[in-house]
Amino acid sequence: MQASAFTRRCACALLGAFAAAALLSGCSGLSNPFASNRPKPAVLPTITVTADVRADWSYSIGKAGEAVFYPAIAGEAIFVAAADGSIARLENGVQQWRIKAGKPLSAGVGSDGVRVVVGTRQGDVLAFSARDGSPLWQAKVSSEIFAPPLVEDDLIIVRSGDNHIEALDAEGQRKWFYQRPSPSLSLRSTAPLVLADQFILSGFPGGKLVALSSQNGAPIWEGTVALPKGATELERVTDVVSSPATSGPTGCAIAYQGRVTCFDFAQSGNALWSRDISSSAGLSVDTRSVYVTDDNSAVHALDLTSGSSRWKMESLPRRQLTLPQVTSTEYLAAGDVEGYVHLIDKNTGALAGRFKTDGSPIRATPQRLPGGKILVQTQAGRVYVLDVR
């Protein structure tokens, strides 16, 4: 028997309370009565500072609201956006242009240095000139857009909230379309798609990772990150809502209420190993390790080839950490719910330094810039470039 609307609303609110980094699809208009009852973030521990983190510059673009906005890096330019439709091009912290898209935005930014592309809740894909911000074209996809478009080689790849992936050409015309059935209850993904070795990698509900051809959207292989378990619809939510990550021929992904699994993505898509860790925040990789933030904000370092544990950092419980981004040969960076950026020593898992931004949550993964610098955008809309010394 199909669950009642009341049952679905309760399930949406419950799962929204426990999956901090992801919202349920179809539930964005519902209030979450459990939000005020979430456990408070742990008090920041005293640390021995071995890395000095300072702001090179900061810039205010505007609030993200319920959306998550990722800055786009293209050469010397950084493109940023906000929920009210503001889009700006920055170079060394200096605004080159700033425009209004004419519509509220729910996703962005994607850019190849020629085009700047953002999305809306109505499924509008809006493209602007990276040179001066002038409008280029507007297209429509099947439903709301929560993840930033992927812009690469005259292709604009858009994932919509109904788990469809659509490729547009440089003029906004559809080139191909990949459709996957959606379960009645799933987590909303705001994570960027990943282009690796001419494959587009994307996670889906039900614990699946799919590699698509960037040329025509044909599925090359499909891997199982985790299998749904449990008796109820809520217990069986096992969704890959964070971005996969790759190192050489190895690609890894993690599922909420599931596992982290690494695959031979360049050849067969066969699974290499798995570990039982649940995460909606995600993971990153380098040539040696997989770094995972679990659902209690513990950070794990796992051996890339075997999955064995190298270390585990548990000093920041309940702080709703982003995934631990690899920023240099020495450090990882993760943002938290109170606007702190934490530096973690890659070799030991020790906290090496921290920087307080504007105090609003950091939901978008910190990004790596040349020279070990870190790019961060907060939910209040402040953009920072941090230097580590």
> Which phi and psi (to 5°) does residue 59 adopt?
-155, 140
Structure pTM?
0.91
Cα 2 from Cα 228, distance rounded (Å): 19
* DSSP helix/strand/coil, 142: coil
Q: Which residues of 34-50 are buried (b: 16+ CB within 10 A; e: fewer)?
A: eeeeeeebeebeeeeee
Please check whether residue 331 is in contact with residue 344, taking contact to mean a CB–CB distance below 8 angstroms.
Answer: yes
Q: What is the pLDDT of residues 85-104, one digit of tens each?
A: 999 999 999 999 999 999 99
Tens digits of pLDDT across the chain (389 residues): 333 333 333 344 334 434 433 444 444 322 233 344 678 999 999 999 999 999 999 999 999 999 999 999 999 999 999 999 999 999 999 999 999 999 999 999 999 999 999 999 999 999 999 999 999 999 999 999 999 999 998 999 999 999 999 999 999 999 999 998 878 888 999 999 999 988 999 999 999 999 999 999 999 999 999 999 988 989 999 999 999 999 999 999 999 999 999 999 877 789 999 999 999 999 999 999 999 999 999 999 999 999 999 999 999 999 999 999 999 999 999 999 999 999 999 999 999 999 999 999 999 999 999 999 999 999 999 999 999 99
pLDDT in tens, 270-279: 999 999 999 9
Domain boundary assignment for the chain: 1-38, 69-189
Whether domain 69-189 has CATH 3.90.1300.10: no
User: Is residue 226 within 8 Å of 209, Cβ to Cβ?
Assistant: no
The position carrying tokens 């610098």 is: 373
